[in-house]
A and B are shown apart, each in its own frame.
Chain A
Amino acid sequence: MTDSDPPPGSPRGAPAYRAMFWLYPAETDAAGNPLVPAGPPGFGLSVPINAGPQGAGVAPAGADEGAEGYDEALEWETPEGGGDDDGEAANPRDMDLSDGQPDDGFHRAGDQEAEEGVAVRKPVVILFSDDSTLFFALRLRDVLREAEDPPPIDLVWYLGETALSYRQMALLLPEGPAYSVGPKTLTSMVRSPDIAAIITSRVYKPLGSAIRPVMFRLKANRPCVIAFQGGLDFFPENGYRHRRYCDAIFITPQSSIETFHSLRIGDDASWQEVGFGHPSFLHPDGAPADLAQRRDIFFYTQALSPSTRRGRLHVLRALASMARANPDRTVWIKLRHLPNENQKHLHLEKYDYPGLMAQMTDLPENLKITACTMDESLETAALGITCTSTAAIDVLRAGIPTMVYLDFVDNYRDPLVEPMREVFEGSKVITSLEDLLHLRHHDPDPEWLADMLCPRDLGQRLLDAVARFETRPFQLTEAPK
Protein backbone atom coordinates (compact mmCIF):
# COMPACT_ATOMS: atom_id res chain seq x y z
CA MET A 1 0.00 0.00 0.00
CA THR A 2 1.44 3.35 -1.01
CA ASP A 3 0.95 6.70 0.70
CA SER A 4 -1.62 7.68 -1.89
CA ASP A 5 -3.77 4.61 -1.24
CA PRO A 6 -6.81 5.10 0.96
CA PRO A 7 -6.82 3.27 4.27
CA PRO A 8 -8.62 -0.08 4.54
CA GLY A 9 -12.34 0.38 4.94
CA SER A 10 -12.50 3.66 3.07
CA PRO A 11 -14.35 4.07 -0.19
CA ARG A 12 -13.01 5.14 -3.54
CA GLY A 13 -14.06 8.58 -4.68
CA ALA A 14 -12.99 12.16 -5.14
CA PRO A 15 -9.83 13.22 -3.26
CA ALA A 16 -11.75 15.53 -0.94
CA TYR A 17 -14.22 12.78 -0.19
CA ARG A 18 -11.38 10.33 0.44
CA ALA A 19 -9.80 12.83 2.78
CA MET A 20 -12.85 12.69 5.03
CA PHE A 21 -12.21 9.02 5.58
CA TRP A 22 -8.58 9.64 6.46
CA LEU A 23 -9.85 11.97 9.15
CA TYR A 24 -12.72 9.74 10.26
CA PRO A 25 -11.85 6.08 9.64
CA ALA A 26 -14.42 3.36 10.21
CA GLU A 27 -14.78 2.28 13.82
CA THR A 28 -13.89 -1.36 14.19
CA ASP A 29 -14.25 -3.99 16.87
CA ALA A 30 -11.42 -6.06 18.29
CA ALA A 31 -11.49 -8.38 15.26
CA GLY A 32 -11.23 -5.44 12.87
CA ASN A 33 -14.85 -5.60 11.71
CA PRO A 34 -16.42 -2.19 11.10
CA LEU A 35 -19.04 -1.16 13.65
CA VAL A 36 -20.09 2.09 12.04
CA PRO A 37 -19.51 3.36 8.53
CA ALA A 38 -16.47 5.50 8.09
CA GLY A 39 -17.16 9.14 7.63
CA PRO A 40 -17.40 12.43 9.42
CA PRO A 41 -19.69 12.82 12.42
CA GLY A 42 -23.02 14.29 11.48
CA PHE A 43 -23.29 12.16 8.39
CA GLY A 44 -24.96 8.83 8.63
CA LEU A 45 -25.76 7.58 12.09
CA SER A 46 -23.96 8.20 15.32
CA VAL A 47 -24.82 4.77 16.73
CA PRO A 48 -23.95 1.37 15.32
CA ILE A 49 -26.88 0.76 13.01
CA ASN A 50 -26.43 -2.96 13.10
CA ALA A 51 -26.44 -3.32 16.85
CA GLY A 52 -29.02 -5.80 17.97
CA PRO A 53 -30.29 -9.21 17.14
CA GLN A 54 -32.11 -8.11 13.98
CA GLY A 55 -32.42 -10.63 11.17
CA ALA A 56 -31.19 -13.85 12.66
CA GLY A 57 -28.71 -15.54 10.40
CA VAL A 58 -27.91 -12.39 8.49
CA ALA A 59 -24.85 -10.46 9.45
CA PRO A 60 -24.96 -6.67 9.37
CA ALA A 61 -24.53 -5.03 6.05
CA GLY A 62 -23.54 -1.52 6.97
CA ALA A 63 -24.83 -0.16 3.70
CA ASP A 64 -25.50 3.30 4.98
CA GLU A 65 -25.71 6.18 2.57
CA GLY A 66 -25.89 9.10 4.91
CA ALA A 67 -28.97 10.53 6.49
CA GLU A 68 -31.80 12.23 4.68
CA GLY A 69 -30.82 14.59 1.94
CA TYR A 70 -29.10 11.70 0.25
CA ASP A 71 -26.10 12.75 -1.72
CA GLU A 72 -24.20 10.62 -4.14
CA ALA A 73 -20.95 11.96 -2.77
CA LEU A 74 -21.79 10.55 0.64
CA GLU A 75 -22.37 7.03 -0.53
CA TRP A 76 -20.08 4.68 1.29
CA GLU A 77 -20.02 1.07 2.24
CA THR A 78 -18.12 -0.77 4.91
CA PRO A 79 -19.43 -4.30 4.67
CA GLU A 80 -18.28 -6.74 7.24
CA GLY A 81 -15.53 -8.79 5.73
CA GLY A 82 -16.30 -7.19 2.40
CA GLY A 83 -14.04 -5.19 0.18
CA ASP A 84 -11.36 -6.05 -2.27
CA ASP A 85 -8.18 -7.96 -1.61
CA ASP A 86 -6.26 -4.78 -1.14
CA GLY A 87 -8.47 -3.86 1.77
CA GLU A 88 -10.61 -1.33 -0.04
CA ALA A 89 -14.30 -1.46 0.72
CA ALA A 90 -16.63 -2.21 -2.15
CA ASN A 91 -18.41 0.81 -3.56
CA PRO A 92 -21.92 0.35 -4.92
CA ARG A 93 -21.00 2.44 -7.94
CA ASP A 94 -18.55 -0.25 -8.99
CA MET A 95 -21.17 -2.97 -8.99
CA ASP A 96 -21.49 -5.33 -11.87
CA LEU A 97 -25.09 -6.36 -11.66
CA SER A 98 -25.20 -8.67 -14.60
CA ASP A 99 -22.85 -11.39 -13.41
CA GLY A 100 -25.18 -12.81 -10.83
CA GLN A 101 -22.76 -12.16 -7.98
CA PRO A 102 -22.60 -8.41 -7.61
CA ASP A 103 -19.85 -7.04 -5.47
CA ASP A 104 -22.24 -4.49 -4.06
CA GLY A 105 -21.01 -4.43 -0.52
CA PHE A 106 -24.11 -6.11 0.91
CA HIS A 107 -23.44 -8.88 3.26
CA ARG A 108 -24.75 -11.96 1.52
CA ALA A 109 -27.44 -14.05 3.10
CA GLY A 110 -25.78 -16.53 5.40
CA ASP A 111 -22.19 -15.78 4.37
CA GLN A 112 -21.03 -17.26 7.62
CA GLU A 113 -23.20 -20.35 7.20
CA ALA A 114 -21.96 -20.80 3.63
CA GLU A 115 -18.41 -20.76 4.89
CA GLU A 116 -19.34 -23.36 7.47
CA GLY A 117 -21.13 -25.52 4.90
CA VAL A 118 -24.60 -24.94 6.36
CA ALA A 119 -27.61 -24.48 4.02
CA VAL A 120 -28.01 -20.80 3.10
CA ARG A 121 -31.36 -19.14 3.59
CA LYS A 122 -32.09 -15.92 1.71
CA PRO A 123 -33.46 -13.12 3.87
CA VAL A 124 -36.71 -11.29 3.34
CA VAL A 125 -36.31 -7.51 3.35
CA ILE A 126 -39.04 -5.19 4.64
CA LEU A 127 -38.57 -1.53 3.77
CA PHE A 128 -39.59 1.42 5.95
CA SER A 129 -39.03 5.15 5.84
CA ASP A 130 -41.54 6.82 8.15
CA ASP A 131 -43.77 5.95 11.10
CA SER A 132 -46.54 4.41 8.98
CA THR A 133 -44.16 2.18 7.06
CA LEU A 134 -42.29 1.28 10.25
CA PHE A 135 -45.56 0.15 11.91
CA PHE A 136 -46.21 -1.93 8.81
CA ALA A 137 -42.72 -3.43 8.86
CA LEU A 138 -42.90 -4.36 12.54
CA ARG A 139 -46.33 -5.96 12.16
CA LEU A 140 -45.31 -7.86 9.06
CA ARG A 141 -42.20 -9.12 10.83
CA ASP A 142 -44.40 -10.49 13.61
CA VAL A 143 -46.73 -12.09 11.05
CA LEU A 144 -43.83 -13.70 9.19
CA ARG A 145 -42.31 -15.03 12.40
CA GLU A 146 -45.55 -16.90 13.04
CA ALA A 147 -45.20 -18.74 9.72
CA GLU A 148 -43.83 -22.24 9.47
CA ASP A 149 -40.03 -22.14 9.11
CA PRO A 150 -39.71 -18.36 8.76
CA PRO A 151 -36.73 -16.99 6.81
CA PRO A 152 -34.35 -14.34 8.21
CA ILE A 153 -36.15 -10.98 8.18
CA ASP A 154 -34.28 -7.70 7.65
CA LEU A 155 -35.98 -4.41 8.43
CA VAL A 156 -34.27 -1.98 6.07
CA TRP A 157 -34.43 1.78 6.46
CA TYR A 158 -34.93 3.58 3.14
CA LEU A 159 -33.30 7.00 3.45
CA GLY A 160 -34.67 8.52 0.26
CA GLU A 161 -37.96 9.58 1.86
CA THR A 162 -37.20 9.29 5.54
CA ALA A 163 -39.47 11.08 8.02
CA LEU A 164 -38.78 9.55 11.43
CA SER A 165 -37.76 11.28 14.61
CA TYR A 166 -35.14 9.73 16.86
CA ARG A 167 -37.81 9.32 19.57
CA GLN A 168 -39.92 7.21 17.23
CA MET A 169 -36.97 5.13 16.08
CA ALA A 170 -35.82 4.49 19.64
CA LEU A 171 -39.37 3.68 20.77
CA LEU A 172 -40.42 1.45 17.90
CA LEU A 173 -37.17 -0.12 16.79
CA PRO A 174 -34.62 0.18 19.60
CA GLU A 175 -32.42 -2.53 18.08
CA GLY A 176 -32.07 -0.44 14.91
CA PRO A 177 -32.57 -1.46 11.30
CA ALA A 178 -30.63 -4.29 9.69
CA TYR A 179 -29.09 -1.64 7.46
CA SER A 180 -30.06 1.49 5.59
CA VAL A 181 -30.22 2.12 1.86
CA GLY A 182 -30.48 5.13 -0.38
CA PRO A 183 -32.17 5.32 -3.77
CA LYS A 184 -29.22 3.91 -5.72
CA THR A 185 -28.61 1.01 -3.41
CA LEU A 186 -32.32 0.20 -3.39
CA THR A 187 -32.19 -0.08 -7.18
CA SER A 188 -29.24 -2.46 -6.81
CA MET A 189 -31.01 -4.51 -4.16
CA VAL A 190 -33.85 -5.27 -6.55
CA ARG A 191 -31.34 -7.17 -8.71
CA SER A 192 -29.63 -9.00 -5.89
CA PRO A 193 -29.74 -12.82 -6.19
CA ASP A 194 -29.25 -13.11 -2.43
CA ILE A 195 -32.51 -11.61 -1.24
CA ALA A 196 -35.66 -13.75 -1.32
CA ALA A 197 -38.16 -10.91 -1.31
CA ILE A 198 -38.42 -7.15 -0.94
CA ILE A 199 -41.65 -6.26 0.81
CA THR A 200 -42.97 -2.73 1.05
CA SER A 201 -46.13 -0.83 1.79
CA ARG A 202 -44.97 2.08 -0.36
CA VAL A 203 -43.52 1.63 -3.81
CA TYR A 204 -40.67 4.14 -3.64
CA LYS A 205 -39.74 5.80 -6.90
CA PRO A 206 -36.41 3.98 -7.46
CA LEU A 207 -38.09 0.67 -6.69
CA GLY A 208 -40.97 1.38 -9.07
CA SER A 209 -38.59 2.45 -11.83
CA ALA A 210 -36.36 -0.59 -11.37
CA ILE A 211 -39.16 -3.14 -11.68
CA ARG A 212 -40.91 -1.46 -14.58
CA PRO A 213 -39.07 -3.05 -17.56
CA VAL A 214 -40.64 -6.34 -18.62
CA MET A 215 -37.25 -7.94 -19.25
CA PHE A 216 -36.27 -7.20 -15.69
CA ARG A 217 -39.43 -8.79 -14.34
CA LEU A 218 -38.76 -11.95 -16.34
CA LYS A 219 -35.24 -12.16 -14.92
CA ALA A 220 -34.30 -15.21 -12.85
CA ASN A 221 -32.46 -15.02 -9.51
CA ARG A 222 -33.90 -11.77 -8.30
CA PRO A 223 -36.00 -10.95 -5.24
CA CYS A 224 -39.76 -11.18 -5.40
CA VAL A 225 -41.08 -7.62 -5.02
CA ILE A 226 -44.21 -7.64 -2.90
CA ALA A 227 -46.35 -4.58 -2.27
CA PHE A 228 -49.00 -4.05 0.36
CA GLN A 229 -51.32 -1.10 0.69
CA GLY A 230 -50.27 1.60 3.12
CA GLY A 231 -53.31 1.01 5.28
CA LEU A 232 -56.87 2.08 4.67
CA ASP A 233 -56.76 3.20 1.07
CA PHE A 234 -59.51 5.69 0.32
CA PHE A 235 -58.52 6.04 -3.31
CA PRO A 236 -57.41 2.47 -4.08
CA GLU A 237 -57.18 2.80 -7.85
CA ASN A 238 -54.21 5.16 -7.50
CA GLY A 239 -52.60 2.68 -5.15
CA TYR A 240 -53.20 -0.21 -7.54
CA ARG A 241 -51.52 1.75 -10.34
CA HIS A 242 -48.45 2.44 -8.20
CA ARG A 243 -48.15 -1.27 -7.45
CA ARG A 244 -49.02 -2.71 -10.84
CA TYR A 245 -45.51 -3.88 -11.74
CA CYS A 246 -44.91 -5.68 -8.45
CA ASP A 247 -44.66 -9.47 -8.50
CA ALA A 248 -47.22 -9.91 -5.77
CA ILE A 249 -49.76 -7.43 -4.49
CA PHE A 250 -51.70 -7.86 -1.27
CA ILE A 251 -54.82 -5.74 -0.99
CA THR A 252 -57.84 -5.31 1.25
CA PRO A 253 -60.79 -5.80 1.39
CA GLN A 254 -61.17 -9.21 -0.21
CA SER A 255 -63.88 -7.93 -2.55
CA SER A 256 -61.41 -5.45 -4.04
CA ILE A 257 -59.39 -8.27 -5.67
CA GLU A 258 -62.21 -8.64 -8.17
CA THR A 259 -62.20 -4.87 -8.73
CA PHE A 260 -58.45 -4.99 -9.27
CA HIS A 261 -58.83 -7.63 -11.98
CA SER A 262 -61.81 -5.90 -13.60
CA LEU A 263 -59.91 -2.63 -13.86
CA ARG A 264 -57.14 -4.45 -15.78
CA ILE A 265 -54.55 -2.48 -13.86
CA GLY A 266 -52.29 -5.46 -13.32
CA ASP A 267 -49.55 -6.26 -15.74
CA ASP A 268 -49.98 -9.32 -17.98
CA ALA A 269 -46.42 -9.38 -19.33
CA SER A 270 -44.94 -11.20 -16.37
CA TRP A 271 -45.78 -13.39 -13.38
CA GLN A 272 -48.05 -11.64 -10.91
CA GLU A 273 -50.25 -12.67 -8.01
CA VAL A 274 -52.89 -10.67 -6.18
CA GLY A 275 -53.63 -11.73 -2.64
CA PHE A 276 -55.78 -10.62 0.26
CA GLY A 277 -54.29 -9.22 3.39
CA HIS A 278 -52.35 -6.67 5.37
CA PRO A 279 -50.46 -7.18 8.65
CA SER A 280 -52.64 -4.56 10.34
CA PHE A 281 -55.82 -6.12 8.93
CA LEU A 282 -55.81 -9.47 10.71
CA HIS A 283 -59.07 -11.03 11.81
CA PRO A 284 -59.53 -10.71 15.59
CA ASP A 285 -59.01 -13.79 17.75
CA GLY A 286 -61.76 -12.57 20.04
CA ALA A 287 -62.10 -9.86 22.66
CA PRO A 288 -59.32 -9.54 25.27
CA ALA A 289 -60.00 -11.60 28.39
CA ASP A 290 -59.81 -8.57 30.71
CA LEU A 291 -61.97 -6.25 28.57
CA ALA A 292 -64.67 -5.90 31.25
CA GLN A 293 -62.10 -4.67 33.80
CA ARG A 294 -60.52 -2.12 31.49
CA ARG A 295 -61.31 1.56 32.12
CA ASP A 296 -59.30 3.40 29.42
CA ILE A 297 -60.90 5.05 26.42
CA PHE A 298 -58.54 5.93 23.61
CA PHE A 299 -59.12 8.55 20.95
CA TYR A 300 -56.76 7.91 18.03
CA THR A 301 -55.83 11.12 16.28
CA GLN A 302 -55.25 11.53 12.60
CA ALA A 303 -53.00 14.17 11.03
CA LEU A 304 -55.54 15.39 8.49
CA SER A 305 -58.93 14.86 10.16
CA PRO A 306 -60.75 16.94 11.32
CA SER A 307 -59.25 19.39 8.88
CA THR A 308 -60.44 22.60 10.56
CA ARG A 309 -59.58 24.09 13.93
CA ARG A 310 -63.28 24.34 14.78
CA GLY A 311 -63.76 20.64 13.99
CA ARG A 312 -60.89 19.65 16.27
CA LEU A 313 -62.13 21.86 19.09
CA HIS A 314 -65.54 20.19 18.76
CA VAL A 315 -63.96 16.73 19.06
CA LEU A 316 -61.95 17.91 22.08
CA ARG A 317 -65.09 19.29 23.72
CA ALA A 318 -66.87 15.97 23.12
CA LEU A 319 -63.95 14.03 24.66
CA ALA A 320 -63.84 16.40 27.63
CA SER A 321 -67.59 15.95 28.21
CA MET A 322 -67.17 12.19 27.98
CA ALA A 323 -64.37 12.31 30.55
CA ARG A 324 -66.40 14.55 32.86
CA ALA A 325 -69.40 12.23 32.66
CA ASN A 326 -67.23 9.17 33.41
CA PRO A 327 -64.85 10.16 36.20
CA ASP A 328 -64.01 6.50 36.84
CA ARG A 329 -62.52 6.22 33.36
CA THR A 330 -59.53 7.86 31.69
CA VAL A 331 -59.94 9.32 28.23
CA TRP A 332 -56.60 9.26 26.43
CA ILE A 333 -55.85 11.26 23.31
CA LYS A 334 -53.29 9.11 21.58
CA LEU A 335 -51.03 11.26 19.47
CA ARG A 336 -49.50 9.82 16.40
CA HIS A 337 -46.50 12.05 16.88
CA LEU A 338 -45.50 14.92 19.14
CA PRO A 339 -46.04 18.52 18.02
CA ASN A 340 -43.21 19.65 15.72
CA GLU A 341 -42.22 16.04 15.12
CA ASN A 342 -42.32 14.46 11.65
CA GLN A 343 -42.41 17.80 9.83
CA LYS A 344 -41.43 16.02 6.62
CA HIS A 345 -44.20 13.47 6.88
CA LEU A 346 -46.52 13.08 3.91
CA HIS A 347 -49.45 14.04 6.15
CA LEU A 348 -48.64 17.17 8.11
CA GLU A 349 -50.82 18.09 11.08
CA LYS A 350 -51.96 21.72 11.01
CA TYR A 351 -53.64 21.97 14.42
CA ASP A 352 -52.12 19.69 17.04
CA TYR A 353 -54.23 18.57 19.99
CA PRO A 354 -51.77 19.55 22.76
CA GLY A 355 -51.72 23.09 21.34
CA LEU A 356 -55.51 23.27 21.19
CA MET A 357 -55.85 21.84 24.70
CA ALA A 358 -53.51 24.51 26.01
CA GLN A 359 -55.96 27.12 24.74
CA MET A 360 -58.94 25.43 26.43
CA THR A 361 -59.89 25.97 30.04
CA ASP A 362 -61.70 23.72 32.48
CA LEU A 363 -60.51 20.42 31.04
CA PRO A 364 -61.17 17.41 33.30
CA GLU A 365 -58.20 15.70 34.93
CA ASN A 366 -59.07 12.33 33.40
CA LEU A 367 -58.60 13.66 29.87
CA LYS A 368 -54.97 12.97 29.10
CA ILE A 369 -52.54 12.91 26.22
CA THR A 370 -50.23 10.04 25.37
CA ALA A 371 -47.70 9.33 22.64
CA CYS A 372 -47.43 5.62 23.41
CA THR A 373 -47.37 3.03 20.66
CA MET A 374 -50.55 1.58 19.20
CA ASP A 375 -49.80 -1.85 20.67
CA GLU A 376 -49.29 -0.38 24.14
CA SER A 377 -52.61 1.43 23.91
CA LEU A 378 -54.41 -1.72 22.80
CA GLU A 379 -53.21 -3.52 25.92
CA THR A 380 -55.35 -1.34 28.18
CA ALA A 381 -58.04 0.07 25.87
CA ALA A 382 -61.66 -0.68 26.70
CA LEU A 383 -62.90 1.38 23.77
CA GLY A 384 -61.22 2.93 20.72
CA ILE A 385 -62.54 6.04 19.00
CA THR A 386 -61.26 7.61 15.81
CA CYS A 387 -62.38 9.85 12.97
CA THR A 388 -60.68 8.76 9.74
CA SER A 389 -57.65 6.90 11.02
CA THR A 390 -56.51 3.40 10.12
CA ALA A 391 -56.39 2.98 13.89
CA ALA A 392 -60.04 1.87 13.63
CA ILE A 393 -58.80 -1.29 11.93
CA ASP A 394 -56.13 -1.81 14.59
CA VAL A 395 -58.75 -1.59 17.33
CA LEU A 396 -61.08 -3.97 15.48
CA ARG A 397 -58.19 -6.38 14.96
CA ALA A 398 -57.60 -6.44 18.71
CA GLY A 399 -61.26 -7.33 19.32
CA ILE A 400 -61.87 -4.09 21.22
CA PRO A 401 -65.13 -2.09 20.81
CA THR A 402 -64.63 0.53 18.13
CA MET A 403 -66.35 3.79 17.25
CA VAL A 404 -65.79 5.73 14.05
CA TYR A 405 -67.05 9.28 14.52
CA LEU A 406 -67.54 11.16 11.26
CA ASP A 407 -70.25 13.71 12.12
CA PHE A 408 -67.94 16.27 13.68
CA VAL A 409 -68.37 19.98 13.03
CA ASP A 410 -67.07 21.09 9.59
CA ASN A 411 -66.90 17.49 8.38
CA TYR A 412 -68.01 18.69 4.94
CA ARG A 413 -64.59 20.37 4.60
CA ASP A 414 -62.78 17.12 5.21
CA PRO A 415 -62.07 15.15 2.03
CA LEU A 416 -61.48 11.93 3.99
CA VAL A 417 -64.89 11.72 5.64
CA GLU A 418 -66.92 10.42 2.71
CA PRO A 419 -64.31 7.81 1.63
CA MET A 420 -64.11 6.64 5.27
CA ARG A 421 -67.90 6.38 5.39
CA GLU A 422 -67.80 4.33 2.19
CA VAL A 423 -65.15 1.93 3.52
CA PHE A 424 -66.99 1.41 6.82
CA GLU A 425 -70.45 1.24 5.25
CA GLY A 426 -72.23 -1.78 6.71
CA SER A 427 -69.65 -2.25 9.48
CA LYS A 428 -71.98 -0.89 12.22
CA VAL A 429 -69.06 0.92 13.85
CA ILE A 430 -69.87 4.38 12.45
CA THR A 431 -71.26 6.15 15.49
CA SER A 432 -73.41 9.22 16.00
CA LEU A 433 -72.39 11.91 18.50
CA GLU A 434 -75.14 10.87 20.93
CA ASP A 435 -73.99 7.25 20.97
CA LEU A 436 -70.38 8.39 21.27
CA LEU A 437 -71.08 10.55 24.30
CA HIS A 438 -73.10 7.80 26.00
CA LEU A 439 -70.42 5.18 25.08
CA ARG A 440 -73.01 3.09 23.22
CA HIS A 441 -70.98 0.95 20.85
CA HIS A 442 -72.13 -1.73 18.42
CA ASP A 443 -70.45 -4.99 17.55
CA PRO A 444 -68.98 -4.95 14.03
CA ASP A 445 -70.88 -6.79 11.33
CA PRO A 446 -69.25 -10.27 10.94
CA GLU A 447 -69.62 -10.32 7.15
CA TRP A 448 -68.04 -6.91 6.78
CA LEU A 449 -65.29 -7.98 9.18
CA ALA A 450 -64.55 -11.15 7.16
CA ASP A 451 -64.29 -9.10 3.97
CA MET A 452 -62.07 -6.42 5.51
CA LEU A 453 -59.82 -8.40 7.85
CA CYS A 454 -57.76 -11.29 6.53
CA PRO A 455 -57.08 -14.70 8.13
CA ARG A 456 -54.10 -14.86 10.48
CA ASP A 457 -52.06 -17.13 8.18
CA LEU A 458 -50.93 -14.11 6.13
CA GLY A 459 -47.24 -14.79 6.79
CA GLN A 460 -47.47 -18.34 5.46
CA ARG A 461 -49.44 -17.22 2.38
CA LEU A 462 -46.83 -14.56 1.70
CA LEU A 463 -43.97 -17.07 1.91
CA ASP A 464 -45.91 -19.46 -0.32
CA ALA A 465 -46.21 -16.67 -2.91
CA VAL A 466 -42.43 -16.12 -2.72
CA ALA A 467 -41.87 -19.87 -3.25
CA ARG A 468 -44.20 -19.87 -6.28
CA PHE A 469 -42.37 -16.84 -7.65
CA GLU A 470 -39.03 -18.61 -7.42
CA THR A 471 -40.34 -21.59 -9.39
CA ARG A 472 -42.40 -19.61 -11.88
CA PRO A 473 -42.17 -20.65 -15.52
CA PHE A 474 -40.30 -18.64 -18.16
CA GLN A 475 -37.39 -17.06 -16.33
CA LEU A 476 -34.59 -15.27 -18.15
CA THR A 477 -31.05 -16.15 -17.20
CA GLU A 478 -27.88 -14.32 -18.18
CA ALA A 479 -26.11 -15.32 -21.41
CA PRO A 480 -22.77 -17.06 -20.80
CA LYS A 481 -19.73 -14.82 -21.05
Chain B
Amino acid sequence: MAAKPKPVPKPKPRPFLTRAMSALYRFSRMALIGVPLRLAARIRKIEVIQPAHLYPAHISHNRRQNGVLAEFERKAATTGKT
Protein backbone atom coordinates (compact mmCIF):
# COMPACT_ATOMS: atom_id res chain seq x y z
CA MET B 1 0.00 0.00 0.00
CA ALA B 2 1.39 3.34 -1.03
CA ALA B 3 2.36 5.73 1.75
CA LYS B 4 -0.13 8.46 2.44
CA PRO B 5 1.15 11.73 1.02
CA LYS B 6 2.02 14.31 3.61
CA PRO B 7 -0.51 17.16 3.83
CA VAL B 8 0.70 20.43 2.36
CA PRO B 9 1.21 22.84 5.27
CA LYS B 10 -0.97 25.92 5.20
CA PRO B 11 0.92 29.15 4.59
CA LYS B 12 1.62 31.09 7.77
CA PRO B 13 -0.82 34.02 8.13
CA ARG B 14 0.78 37.42 7.75
CA PRO B 15 1.09 39.50 10.93
CA PHE B 16 -1.91 41.65 11.80
CA LEU B 17 -0.06 44.93 11.36
CA THR B 18 1.16 43.95 7.90
CA ARG B 19 -2.35 42.99 6.86
CA ALA B 20 -3.81 46.19 8.32
CA MET B 21 -1.28 48.36 6.56
CA SER B 22 -1.79 46.53 3.28
CA ALA B 23 -5.53 47.07 3.60
CA LEU B 24 -4.98 50.75 4.37
CA TYR B 25 -2.81 51.11 1.28
CA ARG B 26 -5.40 49.28 -0.80
CA PHE B 27 -8.16 51.59 0.48
CA SER B 28 -6.03 54.64 -0.26
CA ARG B 29 -5.89 53.61 -3.93
CA MET B 30 -9.72 53.47 -4.17
CA ALA B 31 -11.55 56.25 -5.97
CA LEU B 32 -13.83 57.55 -3.23
CA ILE B 33 -12.47 56.30 0.10
CA GLY B 34 -8.93 56.90 -1.07
CA VAL B 35 -9.19 60.70 -1.34
CA PRO B 36 -9.49 61.50 2.40
CA LEU B 37 -6.91 58.84 3.22
CA ARG B 38 -4.38 60.27 0.80
CA LEU B 39 -5.16 63.78 2.03
CA ALA B 40 -4.58 62.72 5.64
CA ALA B 41 -1.29 61.11 4.67
CA ARG B 42 -0.16 64.32 2.97
CA ILE B 43 -1.18 66.48 5.94
CA ARG B 44 0.73 64.17 8.26
CA LYS B 45 3.92 64.92 6.34
CA ILE B 46 3.70 68.73 6.62
CA GLU B 47 6.86 69.76 8.45
CA VAL B 48 5.59 72.77 10.42
CA ILE B 49 2.87 70.83 12.20
CA GLN B 50 5.17 68.08 13.47
CA PRO B 51 4.80 67.81 17.28
CA ALA B 52 8.57 67.21 17.60
CA HIS B 53 9.15 70.92 16.93
CA LEU B 54 7.27 71.79 20.12
CA TYR B 55 9.39 69.76 22.58
CA PRO B 56 11.34 72.12 24.90
CA ALA B 57 14.60 70.18 24.41
CA HIS B 58 14.30 70.52 20.66
CA ILE B 59 13.45 74.21 20.82
CA SER B 60 16.49 74.89 23.01
CA HIS B 61 18.72 72.80 20.69
CA ASN B 62 17.72 74.87 17.67
CA ARG B 63 18.10 78.10 19.64
CA ARG B 64 21.59 77.06 20.79
CA GLN B 65 22.78 76.20 17.29
CA ASN B 66 21.37 79.39 15.80
CA GLY B 67 22.97 81.33 18.68
CA VAL B 68 26.43 79.86 18.01
CA LEU B 69 26.13 80.65 14.32
CA ALA B 70 24.84 84.18 14.92
CA GLU B 71 27.69 84.85 17.39
CA PHE B 72 30.28 83.62 14.86
CA GLU B 73 28.75 85.77 12.11
CA ARG B 74 28.71 88.81 14.40
CA LYS B 75 32.37 88.37 15.37
CA ALA B 76 33.39 87.78 11.76
CA ALA B 77 31.58 90.98 10.73
CA THR B 78 33.24 93.12 13.41
CA THR B 79 36.79 91.78 13.21
CA GLY B 80 36.83 90.88 9.56
CA LYS B 81 38.24 87.48 10.46
CA THR B 82 37.65 85.21 13.45
Contact = CB atoms under 8 A, between A and B. Distances in A.
Interface of A: 308-310, 314, 317-318, 321, 324-326, 407-413, 433-434, 437-438
Nearest to A320: B73
Interface string B40-82: 0000000100101101001001100110110011001000011
Given A412-B61, A437-B68, 12 more contacts: A308-B47, A310-B47, A318-B69, A321-B69, A321-B72, A324-B76, A325-B81, A407-B65, A411-B61, A412-B55, A413-B52, A437-B69
Interface of B: 47, 50, 52-53, 55, 58, 61-62, 65-66, 68-69, 72-73, 76, 81-82
A314 B76 contact: no
A417 to B, nearest CB: 11
Nearest to B75: A325
Given A412-B52, A413-B52, A437 B62 contact: no
Contact of A412 (B58, B68, B73): B58
A310 to B, nearest CB: 8
A160 B81 CA distance: 53
A88 to B, nearest CB: 42
A314 B82 contact: no
A321 B73 CA distance: 6
A312 to B, nearest CB: 12
Nearest to A413: B52
23 contacts: A308-B47, A310-B47, A314-B65, A318-B69, A321-B72, A324-B73, A325-B72, A325-B81, A326-B81, A407-B61, A407-B65, A408-B65, A409-B61, A409-B62, A409-B65, A411-B61, A412-B55, A413-B50, A413-B53, A433-B69, A434-B68, A437-B69, A437-B82
Contact of A325 (B53, B68, B76): B76
A54 to B, nearest CB: 42
A308 B52 CA distance: 12
Contact of B66 (A324, A409, A413, A437): A409
Contacts of B81: 325-326
B69 A309 contact: no
Contacts of A408: 65
Contacts of A321: 69, 72-73, 76
A310 B47 CA distance: 10
A314 B69 contact: yes
A263 B76 CA distance: 52
Contacts of A326: 81
Contacts of A410: 53, 62
Nearest to A327: B81
B65 A309 contact: no
A325 B82 contact: yes
B57 to A, nearest CB: 8
Name which of B53, B65, B68 has the most chain A CB atoms within 10 A of its CB: B65
Contacts of B47: 308-310, 413
Contacts of B50: 413
A314 B52 contact: no
A165 B53 CA distance: 37
A318 B70 CA distance: 9
A438 B82 CA distance: 8
Nearest to B63: A409
A314 B72 contact: no
A310 B65 CA distance: 12
A434 B82 CA distance: 11
B78 to A, nearest CB: 12
B82 to A, nearest CB: 5
Nearest to A437: B72
Contacts of A309: 47
Contacts of A318: 69
Considering residues A308, A318, A410, which has the most beta carbons from chain B within 10 angstroms of its beta carbon?
A410
A411 B69 CA distance: 16
A314 B58 contact: no
Contacts of A310: 47
A314 B66 contact: yes
Contacts of A308: 47
A413 B52 CA distance: 7
